[in-house]
Amino acid sequence: MAISKAEIRGLSIVLLGDFNPIIFQPRWFVSEGLMTKAEADDADVQVVHADVTIFQLPWIGVNVSRERAVFSCTAQPYFERVVGVTGQTFDLLRHTPVRMLGINNEAHIRASSIEALHALGHALAPKHLWNEFFSSPGLQSLAIRQSPRQDNMKGHTEVTVQSSPRIQPGAYVRINEHFVVNEGDKLGADRAVTIVRDHWSPSAFFAERVFVRIEEQL
Protein backbone atom coordinates (compact mmCIF):
# COMPACT_ATOMS: atom_id res chain seq x y z
CA MET A 1 0.00 0.00 0.00
CA ALA A 2 1.34 3.42 -0.93
CA ILE A 3 1.69 5.79 1.99
CA SER A 4 1.33 9.51 2.08
CA LYS A 5 4.37 11.76 1.78
CA ALA A 6 2.60 14.66 3.46
CA GLU A 7 5.04 16.99 5.17
CA ILE A 8 2.90 17.54 8.22
CA ARG A 9 0.64 14.93 9.72
CA GLY A 10 -1.74 15.20 12.60
CA LEU A 11 -3.90 12.92 14.66
CA SER A 12 -6.41 13.87 17.27
CA ILE A 13 -8.88 11.80 19.18
CA VAL A 14 -11.79 13.82 20.45
CA LEU A 15 -14.29 12.55 23.00
CA LEU A 16 -17.44 14.37 24.01
CA GLY A 17 -19.01 13.51 27.32
CA ASP A 18 -18.65 14.44 30.96
CA PHE A 19 -15.09 14.62 32.20
CA ASN A 20 -13.28 15.55 35.36
CA PRO A 21 -10.42 17.60 33.89
CA ILE A 22 -8.29 17.73 37.01
CA ILE A 23 -7.63 14.00 36.74
CA PHE A 24 -5.85 14.39 33.42
CA GLN A 25 -2.65 15.89 34.73
CA PRO A 26 0.79 14.46 33.94
CA ARG A 27 1.22 13.01 37.45
CA TRP A 28 -1.85 10.85 36.98
CA PHE A 29 -0.51 9.44 33.69
CA VAL A 30 2.74 8.60 35.50
CA SER A 31 0.92 6.91 38.36
CA GLU A 32 -0.94 4.72 35.88
CA GLY A 33 2.18 3.78 33.94
CA LEU A 34 1.16 5.64 30.79
CA MET A 35 4.00 8.13 30.90
CA THR A 36 7.42 8.21 32.51
CA LYS A 37 8.25 10.58 35.34
CA ALA A 38 10.89 12.22 33.18
CA GLU A 39 8.28 12.91 30.51
CA ALA A 40 5.86 14.32 33.05
CA ASP A 41 8.54 16.55 34.53
CA ASP A 42 9.24 17.84 31.04
CA ALA A 43 5.58 18.53 30.24
CA ASP A 44 4.56 22.05 29.42
CA VAL A 45 1.56 22.41 31.69
CA GLN A 46 -0.58 25.36 30.69
CA VAL A 47 -3.35 24.80 33.20
CA VAL A 48 -4.57 22.15 35.62
CA HIS A 49 -7.94 23.14 36.99
CA ALA A 50 -11.29 21.63 37.84
CA ASP A 51 -12.67 23.10 34.60
CA VAL A 52 -9.82 22.50 32.21
CA THR A 53 -6.46 20.78 31.95
CA ILE A 54 -4.06 21.52 29.13
CA PHE A 55 -0.54 20.21 28.79
CA GLN A 56 1.82 19.22 26.03
CA LEU A 57 4.77 16.98 25.47
CA PRO A 58 6.56 16.74 22.13
CA TRP A 59 4.56 13.60 21.31
CA ILE A 60 1.15 14.38 22.79
CA GLY A 61 -1.13 17.28 23.53
CA VAL A 62 -3.85 16.82 26.14
CA ASN A 63 -6.72 19.27 26.38
CA VAL A 64 -9.62 18.28 28.60
CA SER A 65 -12.56 20.44 29.60
CA ARG A 66 -15.72 19.28 31.33
CA GLU A 67 -17.38 18.31 28.05
CA ARG A 68 -14.53 17.61 25.69
CA ALA A 69 -11.31 15.62 25.84
CA VAL A 70 -8.74 15.93 23.06
CA PHE A 71 -5.57 13.88 22.67
CA SER A 72 -3.47 15.13 19.77
CA CYS A 73 -0.17 14.49 18.05
CA THR A 74 1.65 15.97 15.06
CA ALA A 75 4.37 13.35 14.62
CA GLN A 76 3.30 10.16 12.86
CA PRO A 77 5.73 7.81 14.66
CA TYR A 78 3.93 8.61 17.90
CA PHE A 79 0.39 8.10 16.64
CA GLU A 80 0.33 4.52 17.90
CA ARG A 81 1.34 5.63 21.35
CA VAL A 82 -1.23 8.41 21.47
CA VAL A 83 -3.97 5.98 20.44
CA GLY A 84 -2.70 3.51 23.02
CA VAL A 85 -2.60 6.09 25.80
CA THR A 86 -6.10 7.29 24.90
CA GLY A 87 -7.43 3.73 24.98
CA GLN A 88 -5.68 2.87 28.22
CA THR A 89 -6.78 6.13 29.84
CA PHE A 90 -10.43 5.36 29.29
CA ASP A 91 -9.93 1.72 30.13
CA LEU A 92 -9.00 3.05 33.55
CA LEU A 93 -11.78 5.66 33.54
CA ARG A 94 -14.29 3.29 32.02
CA HIS A 95 -17.27 4.74 33.87
CA THR A 96 -16.75 8.18 32.35
CA PRO A 97 -19.81 9.05 30.28
CA VAL A 98 -18.86 9.46 26.63
CA ARG A 99 -21.45 10.41 24.02
CA MET A 100 -19.40 10.91 20.87
CA LEU A 101 -15.99 10.07 19.59
CA GLY A 102 -13.97 11.46 16.72
CA ILE A 103 -10.79 10.12 15.16
CA ASN A 104 -9.24 12.91 13.09
CA ASN A 105 -6.40 12.31 10.67
CA GLU A 106 -4.95 15.45 9.15
CA ALA A 107 -2.28 16.24 6.58
CA HIS A 108 -0.70 19.29 5.00
CA ILE A 109 0.39 18.26 1.52
CA ARG A 110 2.76 20.34 -0.58
CA ALA A 111 1.64 21.07 -4.14
CA SER A 112 4.14 20.92 -6.97
CA SER A 113 2.95 24.35 -8.09
CA ILE A 114 0.23 26.88 -7.41
CA GLU A 115 -1.35 25.79 -10.70
CA ALA A 116 -1.54 22.21 -9.42
CA LEU A 117 -3.29 23.46 -6.29
CA HIS A 118 -5.78 25.40 -8.40
CA ALA A 119 -6.33 22.34 -10.56
CA LEU A 120 -7.18 20.36 -7.45
CA GLY A 121 -9.65 23.07 -6.44
CA HIS A 122 -11.27 22.96 -9.87
CA ALA A 123 -11.40 19.14 -9.82
CA LEU A 124 -13.06 19.10 -6.42
CA ALA A 125 -15.46 21.95 -7.18
CA PRO A 126 -16.03 22.63 -10.89
CA LYS A 127 -16.65 26.33 -11.44
CA HIS A 128 -18.95 26.37 -14.47
CA LEU A 129 -21.95 27.35 -12.33
CA TRP A 130 -20.03 30.00 -10.38
CA ASN A 131 -18.57 31.51 -13.50
CA GLU A 132 -22.04 32.97 -14.11
CA PHE A 133 -21.57 35.11 -11.00
CA PHE A 134 -17.86 35.60 -10.49
CA SER A 135 -14.97 36.34 -12.78
CA SER A 136 -12.58 34.13 -10.87
CA PRO A 137 -14.35 31.99 -8.27
CA GLY A 138 -12.11 30.15 -5.87
CA LEU A 139 -12.69 27.20 -3.61
CA GLN A 140 -12.24 28.06 0.05
CA SER A 141 -13.19 24.84 1.71
CA LEU A 142 -14.87 21.65 0.69
CA ALA A 143 -16.41 19.03 2.94
CA ILE A 144 -17.73 15.69 1.75
CA ARG A 145 -19.64 13.62 4.23
CA GLN A 146 -20.62 9.95 4.11
CA SER A 147 -23.63 9.49 6.34
CA PRO A 148 -24.59 6.96 7.50
CA ARG A 149 -21.19 5.41 7.96
CA GLN A 150 -20.33 2.49 5.72
CA ASP A 151 -19.50 0.24 8.65
CA ASN A 152 -22.99 0.33 10.17
CA MET A 153 -21.81 2.38 13.13
CA LYS A 154 -23.74 5.50 14.08
CA GLY A 155 -21.99 8.64 12.90
CA HIS A 156 -20.36 9.81 9.70
CA THR A 157 -17.09 10.16 7.85
CA GLU A 158 -16.22 13.63 6.61
CA VAL A 159 -13.33 14.71 4.43
CA THR A 160 -12.46 18.41 4.36
CA VAL A 161 -10.03 19.99 1.92
CA GLN A 162 -8.73 23.53 2.27
CA SER A 163 -5.72 25.52 1.31
CA SER A 164 -2.96 24.78 3.79
CA PRO A 165 -2.12 27.65 6.11
CA ARG A 166 1.23 26.01 6.89
CA ILE A 167 2.59 24.86 3.55
CA GLN A 168 2.31 27.05 0.50
CA PRO A 169 1.38 26.09 -2.02
CA GLY A 170 -0.30 23.18 -0.38
CA ALA A 171 -3.55 21.58 0.67
CA TYR A 172 -4.84 20.75 4.10
CA VAL A 173 -6.89 17.57 4.28
CA ARG A 174 -8.75 16.36 7.32
CA ILE A 175 -10.73 13.18 7.79
CA ASN A 176 -13.16 13.17 10.67
CA GLU A 177 -14.36 9.70 11.63
CA HIS A 178 -17.27 10.61 13.84
CA PHE A 179 -18.96 8.01 16.01
CA VAL A 180 -22.06 8.46 18.07
CA VAL A 181 -21.22 6.23 20.99
CA ASN A 182 -24.80 6.20 22.14
CA GLU A 183 -27.66 8.49 21.35
CA GLY A 184 -29.72 9.73 24.25
CA ASP A 185 -28.50 7.71 27.19
CA LYS A 186 -24.89 8.21 28.06
CA LEU A 187 -22.70 5.18 28.33
CA GLY A 188 -19.37 4.56 29.91
CA ALA A 189 -16.10 5.10 28.12
CA ASP A 190 -15.56 1.37 27.61
CA ARG A 191 -17.78 1.51 24.53
CA ALA A 192 -15.70 4.38 23.15
CA VAL A 193 -12.50 2.45 23.82
CA THR A 194 -13.89 -0.52 21.91
CA ILE A 195 -14.63 1.78 18.99
CA VAL A 196 -11.08 3.16 19.08
CA ARG A 197 -9.66 -0.38 19.17
CA ASP A 198 -11.79 -1.58 16.27
CA HIS A 199 -11.70 1.55 14.12
CA TRP A 200 -8.32 3.19 14.61
CA SER A 201 -6.61 0.92 12.13
CA PRO A 202 -9.28 1.11 9.39
CA SER A 203 -9.48 4.88 9.84
CA ALA A 204 -5.71 5.19 9.45
CA PHE A 205 -5.76 3.10 6.27
CA PHE A 206 -8.67 5.09 4.87
CA ALA A 207 -6.93 8.38 5.65
CA GLU A 208 -3.77 7.15 3.96
CA ARG A 209 -5.75 6.32 0.82
CA VAL A 210 -7.35 9.76 0.73
CA PHE A 211 -4.06 11.57 1.33
CA VAL A 212 -2.32 9.59 -1.40
CA ARG A 213 -5.19 10.26 -3.80
CA ILE A 214 -5.01 14.01 -3.13
CA GLU A 215 -1.22 13.92 -3.50
CA GLU A 216 -1.61 12.40 -6.94
CA GLN A 217 -3.52 15.52 -7.96
CA LEU A 218 -0.88 17.84 -6.58
In the DSSP assignment, the letter for residue 162 is E
- Which one, of 14, 1, 37, 23, lies nearest residue 106 by Cα? 14
- Is 110 a binding residue for another protein by CB under 8 A? The answer is no
Running DSSP on this structure, what letter comes out for residue 218? -
Instruction: Please answer whether residues 215 and 117 qualify as being in contact, where contact means their C-beta atoms are separated by less than 8 angstroms.
Output: no
Give the rounded distance of the alpha carbon of 117 from its chain centre.
23
Candidate residues 22, 23, 81, 187; the one interacting with another protein per rule CB under 8 A: 81
Q: Is 156 exposed, middle or buried (0-12, 13-18, 19+ CB in 10 A)?
A: middle
Interface with another protein (CB under 8 A), residue from 21, 24, 26, 35: 35
The answer to whether 64 and 53 are in contact (CB under 8 A) is yes
Q: Minimum distance between the CB of residue 56 and another protein, rounded to whole angstroms?
A: 4
Q: How far apart are CA 55 and CA 45, in angstroms?
A: 4
Per rule CB under 8 A, is residue 199 in the interface with another protein?
yes
Interface region with another protein, contact rule CB under 8 A, candidates 18-26, 182-190, 198-206? 198-206
Name the minimum Å distance from CB 201 to another protein.
4
Member of 26, 64, 96, 121 binding another protein (CB under 8 A): 121
Is 201 a binder of another protein (CB under 8 A)? yes
Q: Are 217 and 115 in contact (CB under 8 A)?
A: no
Nearest distance from C-beta of residue 95 to another protein, angstroms:
20
Question: Rounded to whole angstroms, how far apart are CA atoms 164 and 91?
Answer: 36
Q: Minimum distance between the CB of residue 65 and another protein, rounded to whole angstroms? A: 6
Q: Report if residue 217 touches another protein, rule: CB under 8 A.
A: no
Angle at 105 between CA 99 and CA 108, to 5 degrees: 145
By CB under 8 A, what part of segment 127-166 binds another protein? 134, 136-141, 160, 162-163, 165
Stretch that binds another protein, among 20-28, 44-52, 183-191 (CB under 8 A): 44-52
18 interacts with another protein by CB under 8 A: no
Q: In the window 163-192, what residues touch another protein (CB under 8 A)?
A: 163, 165, 168, 171-172, 174, 176, 178-179
Number of residues that bind another protein (CB under 8 A): 85
